[in-house]
Amino acid sequence: MSRANEDEKPAAEPDRRVGGGSDTRPGASDFIRAKVAEDLRSGRYSGRVVTRFPPEPNGYLHIGHAKSCCLNFGIALENDGVCHLRFDDTNPETEDIKYVESIKEDVRWLGFDWGDNLFFASDYFEKLYEYAVILIERGKAYVDSLSEDEIRAYRGTVTRAGKESPFRDRPIEENLRLFERLRAGEFADGEHVLRAKIDMASPNMLMRDPLLYRIRHASHYRRGDDWCLYPLYDFTHCLSDAIENITHSLCTLEFENNRELYDWVLDNVGIARPRPEQTEFARLDIDYTVLSKRKLIRLVEQGHVSGWDDPRLPTLAGLRRRGVPPEAIGAFCDMIGVDKVNSRVDIAKLEYAIRNDLNQRAPRVLCVLRPLKVVITNYPEGRVEQLDAPYWPHDVPKQGSRQLPFGREIFIERDDFMEDPPRKFFRLAPGREVRLRHAYVIKCDDVIKDSATGEVMELRCTFDPDTLRGLPEGRKVKGTIHWVSAAHALPCEVRLYDRLFRVPDPEDVADGEDFTAHLNPDSLVVLEDALIEAGVAVDPPGNRYQFERQGYFISDPVDSNPGSLVYNRTVTLRDTWAKIAARDGR
RNA sequence: UGGCCCGUCGUCUAAUGGCAGGACGCUGGACUUUGGAUCCAGAAAUGGUGGUUCGAGUCCACCCGGGCCAACCA
């Protein structure tokens, strides 16, 4: 094909996936999708694709869960399949309905729809019990009456084989009777357990007669006191998958060793083929944050953050309150791909996904974070002009503008003035000119300081009436700064959020320290005296903006109201000047 | 130290025996009333040693490095 011909063609339909998805083979952009595509091709599951997202309702979802959620729902969507939302709720002591509700909210927020496919492992307790009975009848499971400590001791170590329990060869009839009595509540917690009879010498520790059921006299948040006998993960998960006719059961790498047991259970209770298959992928890790439930709980409980929705947390509730759009999280998940290598993703990649999304989504407004008063001495006292100011820059294809009042007294950003500016500082300084965004060019004539402290209190400037909005043609002014009218601007609180930790790997700690030692003391800076253009007052809480030259912000969905405006910084803009300043200051 | 899994630019990944490519980040430039966005250019990788092969990131062996497993959690 000739080059000219190519040039005339309309651009090809762009790949729906972002970033890393440079792979154009149909139906496959990672090893799991390749496997699904192969199963479809071979007809293994007769064309069915059924995945599941299986959180345990014992905590809040975080961005690591979002990766799994995007994978499971994404694969279903791409293949005309379905993805179930299943709560893996077999531990009555840690689970709660409030987590079920928050997880559902978060999954919906991410944009996924499970339709009618909402399931609970706890609904399968009866069925699971029947499967356990089958295992006992087949001589594949037994009631063990060793204590917890004894079981541990009998298990051996990774380099030494275990020892068989003296109860291992209990007759099937006795096992059956005992198991019934376990269910009936005749025993105390820990008195007996049900174990699979596999191999106490297996090199895979999980195959050394794994526990299937344990006694817990505890109320379950959904089943109440129906049960005092609760199935454990390795027994529950694979059978729940089988009950729901899952085809592809995707989980994280730390379950690799569990796969042998997953298959063993399905084979030995007699699940027909084709049956669900477990495939493992690497969990998400991001630098400068933590993504383990245990550590997140500590941050919340010890008060290092304000709660589960603290905007510094990588929880979905936190990201939402931070102003991160769910679409940005989806784009991020597409960018990072899916593989089996343990990895830690550069947080800059997340920030890129957020900026890239918000650039198209967030209208531009002016907000001065740290105000410095400017009096324009040649501007008539009492005069106010309404300047038309587009909400969108020239390269965002959206319409809309507002009127910005301009007067003799304005506020500019303190950082935009320097008495003794370094090289390449393009903003205001004594004797220098800058352009005011959407307005005029001003020149700094005088600096008024506090005689006692030397602090700059006010600038006296003059404006050039011929310079409105970029005029005249060809007039080159190096810098443009944002501003607000002193007479019109509204006071607001601005919360500047930054990364929660100072180091890329907070878990890498010296002896005697823990990850909280690396907390960034400046992860939240609250500015009480910011000033914002008045038009935003009518916007509902949760509205997102770009504060020009500062970053993307959201009006806090919880604390902001028309009488008391509060904005959270989602992410800064890319800041070339900060880079130059940091480098030169080194 | 038994078993399982994994090593590709700084980071995340593609290449399924045939030109090591993309993304983020970084560097330089263009453009710009946002030091934003956009555009252009650049630097940057197959852990090591052998072997099989016309040809190896890919297959084999050994070595090195990393992860997971000894909860009645998931």
CATH number for position A396: 2.40.240.10
In chain B, which nucleotides are within 7 Å of a protein Cβ? Answer: 1-8, 10-16, 21-27, 33-38, 66-74
Distance of CA A138 to the CA centre of its chain: 45
A387 domain residue, yes or no: yes
Question: Is A293 among the residues known to form the active site?
Answer: yes
**Smallest Cα–C1' distance to nucleotide B32: which residue has it?**
A394
- Give A144's strand partners: A193
Of A430, A457, A481, which residue is a domain's last?
Answer: A481
CA of A507 to C1' of B45 (A): 27
- pLDDT for the residue A582: 85
The nucleotide minimizing the C1' distance to residue A145's CA is B72
- pLDDT for the residue A349: 98
CA of A87 to C1' of B71 (A): 20
Task: Give burial (CB, 10 Å; 0-12/13-18/19+) of A534.
Answer: middle
Question: Do A250 and A204 have their domain in common?
Answer: no
Indicate the pTM of the whole model: 0.94
Helix (H) or strand (E) holding A336: helix A326-336
**Smallest Cα–C1' distance to nucleotide B8: which residue has it?**
A341
How does the average pLDDT of chain A come out, rounded?
93
A574 domain residue, yes or no: no
Considering only residues 485-544 of protein chain A, which place a Cβ less than 7 A from any atom of strand B? Answer: none
CATH code, domain with A102 = 3.40.50.620
A106 in Cβ contact with A60 (< 8 Å): yes
Question: Do A119 and A239 have their domain in common?
Answer: yes
pLDDT bucket at A6, cuts 50 / 70 / 90:
very low
Statement: residue A428 has pLDDT above 60:
yes
CATH code, domain with A186 = 3.90.800.10
- pLDDT for the residue A302: 96
A544 domain residue, yes or no: no
Question: Do A248 and A114 have their domain in common?
Answer: yes
Of A455, A481, A507, which residue is a domain's last?
Answer: A481
Distance CA A231, CA A125 (A): 8
The nucleotide minimizing the C1' distance to residue A160's CA is B2
Q: Which of A48, A293, A402, A502 is catalytic?
A: A293
Statement: residue A156 has pLDDT above 90:
yes
A186 domain residue, yes or no: yes
Helix (H) or strand (E) holding A385: strand A385-390
Question: Do A224 and A267 have their domain in common?
Answer: no
Statement: residue A8 has pLDDT above 80:
no
Summarize chain A as % helix, strand, coil (round to 5): 30, 25, 45
- Which residues are CB-neighbours of A229 under 8 A, at least 6 positions away? A129, A182, A183, A213, A214, A215, A216
3-class secondary structure per residue, A3-50: HHHHHHCCCCCCCCCCCCCCCCCCCCCCHHHHHHHHHHHHCCCCCCCE
Question: Do A152 and A95 have their domain in common?
Answer: no
Question: Is A148 among the residues known to form the active site?
Answer: no
A526 domain residue, yes or no: no
A25 beta carbon to strand B: under 7 Å: yes
Q: What percent of chain A has pLDDT over 90?
A: 91
Number of domains in chain A: 3
> Which tokens is A270 given?
């007699």
Question: Do A54 and A84 have their domain in common?
Answer: yes
Convert the pLDDT of each residue in A52-95 to its tens digit. 999 999 999 999 999 999 999 999 999 999 999 999 999 999 99
Q: Which of A163, A216, A223, A283 is catalytic?
A: A283
3-state secondary structure (DSSP) of residue A527? strand
Query: Which position has the token pair 């002016």?
Result: A366
Q: What's the rounded mean pLDDT across residues A200-228? A: 98
Question: Do A50 and A87 have their domain in common?
Answer: yes
- Give A413's strand partners: A371
Question: Do A86 and A183 have their domain in common?
Answer: no
A391 beta carbon to strand B: under 7 Å: no
What are the b/e assignments for A202-231, b being 16+ CB within 10 Å?
A: bebebbbbbbbbbbbeeebbbeeeebbbbb
Q: How many CA atoms lie within 13 A of A570 on its CB side?
A: 33
Question: Do A476 and A376 have their domain in common?
Answer: yes
> Which tokens is A345 given?
């993703």
Of A447, A481, A515, which residue is a domain's last?
Answer: A481
A424 beta carbon to strand B: under 7 Å: yes
Question: Do A91 and A188 have their domain in common?
Answer: no
Statement: residue A526 has pLDDT above 90:
yes
**Smallest Cα–C1' distance to nucleotide B3: which residue has it?**
A203
For residue A163, the enclosing domain spans 142-231
Q: Is the ipTM of this complex over 0.95?
A: yes
Question: Do A117 and A194 have their domain in common?
Answer: no
Question: Do A100 and A79 have their domain in common?
Answer: yes
A191 domain residue, yes or no: yes
Considering only residues 192-231 of protein chain A, which place a Cβ less than 7 A from any atom of strand B? Answer: 193, 203-206, 211, 214-216, 230
Question: Is A478 among the residues known to form the active site?
Answer: no
A102 domain residue, yes or no: yes
A329 domain residue, yes or no: no
